[in-house]
Homo-oligomer: A and B are copies of this chain.
């Protein structure tokens, strides 16, 4: 039974639905490797659509949290579930190791709603300028919280075991911007003098951070 509880401890689902345009037909299953690219994704012939196009398996499987943040996100976006294309909705499962962190991030094109399936999570978002208010709450199993569109938010496992959440965002491709990675780990670094000034860090600290991400 201890093993069973441990297993449950790892079950974390996150549904994510992102803001999107309105559908103009019942569905428009994303066509893999379409030579033509459009806003969203081109569609397959609807006559060929099958139940599997609207289906994704494996959200019960815990993600691998063996990383320095102690967390894992399993996305179910249009790229993973092609039937979501044009429908403005998606999901994610989130696994948190003990003390695991989902680092501060934004979704540029979606609001997120989250429920805790197992464990105890500290969840928070910060309002925009000039208030930058921290709105934070400790969430237990069965609690639901919302992160408004585009605002910086994060979660942290503050319970004794693993934690799991299910979240949803109102876009089929909400996008994720992990602040630390985007700022200190961009592909092509942000000039050090921008970061030293913006974050009031010395050059050594910035060099150190850029080497980490």
Contacts and interface: CB of A to CB of B under 8 A. Distances in A.
A146 B87 contact: yes
B129 A178 contact: yes
A106 B34 contact: no
A66 interface: no
A54 interface: yes
Contacts of A99: 193
B113 A197 contact: no
B20 A17 contact: no
A124 B190 contact: yes
Interface residues of A, number: 134
A25 B20 CA distance: 10
B198 A179 contact: yes
Interface string A50-67: 111011111111000000
B24 A171 contact: yes
A168 B126 contact: no
A191 B91 CA distance: 27
A25 B173 contact: yes
Interface string A62-86: 0000001100000010000101111
Interface of A: 1, 4-5, 8, 11, 13, 15, 17, 19-28, 31, 34, 36-46, 49-52, 54-61, 68-69, 76, 81, 83-91, 99, 101, 103-104, 106-109, 111-113, 115, 117, 122, 124-129, 131-137, 139-146, 148-152, 154, 156, 166-173, 175-191, 193-194, 197-201, 205, 209, 212-213
